[in-house]
Amino acid sequence: MKIVVLDGYCLNPGDLSWKELEKLGECHVYDRTSLTDVEEVIERIQDAEIVITNKTPISKEVFQRCPNIKYIGVLATGYNVVDVDTAKEKGIPVANIPTYGTASVGQFAIALLLEICHHIGHHNQVVHEGKWEQNPDWCFWDYPLIELDGKNMGIIGYGRIGQSTGRIAQALGMKVLAYDAFKNPDLENENCKYVELDELLSQSDVIALHCPLFPETEGIVNKENIAKMKDGVIILNNSRGPLIVEQDLADALNSGKVAAAGLDVVSTEPIKGDNPLLGAKNCIITPHISWAPKESRQRLMDIAVDNLKAYLAGKPANVVNA
């Protein structure tokens, strides 16, 4: 059985091992495969039964020209790079990795928030540049510092990751306002309650996006919804870039309506030089790394192997096109 990993580098730049996958068949791992050159994709997987991809698209044409494919494993939670309908028509299961990054993504959302509140990176830099040594006072700060205790954290999407962020926010003394289509009353307490979207927008000091990208959530942060928010709100997004209308957020940052934004995702990745958020005030942008701690990536690797083992045993797991 031939296994091909089309784009393994981001998952494993060298600090993990492919040995467990290699035990399951003849394994070929490519660091990267073109996202646009269909011929390269086909050339690499034409005789493979098992295809593992992260961001390399598996289109209808690829399925039609690679008749040996029997299983697709996606090295991520999102699976929009695969034509799952065509795969289903051909009886090919597509399995994703649904829960590997819950802790790391929740932690990163709070890291973005704490950086906005304290500007630790900046203040460390200016100390090393000599600004503290040259300062007439015993301390100084270049930005307003923010205490979170008692403030409201609105979380749009209160699934596993939203709940992870919510637990940390509550530990910091914040009160959580959660918005989700599926409500779990067991999660409510004096510091956490479900609310409707308009209440969340109007009452939150910080808004964190942890919802999937669906037609109803695409562009959920737009000028109309920003107008409903508190003046000086902080917005966090380490879920999906298209949840935000980027020009609208940039305008709100530049006007001061939104005090700051912490983003780990943007609409097109890698980011393009003309993205309006690059020139916006008080906007922190990191390169889609919430998922990338070694512990999280090892968990992803382990689940990907377990998914394939389950398929080979005749009991496919985490199938998204059943």
DSSP string, 23-52: TTSEEEE-S---SS-HHHHHHHHTT-SEEE
Report residue 134's pLDDT band, with 50, 70 and 90 as the boundaries. very high
Q: What percent of the chain lies above the pLDDT cut of 70?
A: 100
Per-residue pLDDT, 290: 98
Residues annotated as catalytic are: 240, 269, 288
Q: What percent of the chain lies above the pLDDT cut of 90?
A: 99
Read off the pTM.
0.94
Is 320 a domain residue?
no
Structure token pair of residue 119: 């500007």
Report residue 227's pLDDT band, with 50, 70 and 90 as the boundaries. very high
Averaged confidence pLDDT in the chain: 97
Query: Do 130 and 247 belong to one domain?
Result: yes
Contact in structure between 253 and 261 (CB atoms under 8 Å): yes
Q: What gap in Å lies between CA 195 and CA 36, rounded to an integer? A: 42
Q: For residue range 153-203, list pLDDT tens digits in order.
A: 999 999 999 999 999 999 999 999 999 999 999 999 999 999 999 999 999
Half-sphere exposure of 60 (CA within 13 A, CB side): 3
Report residue 131's pLDDT band, with 50, 70 and 90 as the boundaries. very high
Contact in structure between 154 and 175 (CB atoms under 8 Å): no
Query: Do 52 and 114 belong to one domain?
Result: no
Query: Do 94 and 239 belong to one domain?
Result: no
Q: Quote the domain boundaries for residue 211.
A: 102-285
Per-residue pLDDT, 61: 98
Nearest alpha carbon to residue 238 among 199, 287, 193: 287
What is the domain-level CATH number for residue 154? 3.40.50.720
Q: What is the mean pLDDT of residues 39-51?
A: 98
Into how many domains does the chain fold?
Answer: 2
Report residue 87's pLDDT band, with 50, 70 and 90 as the boundaries. very high
Query: Do 18 and 167 belong to one domain?
Result: no
Query: Do 126 and 272 belong to one domain?
Result: yes
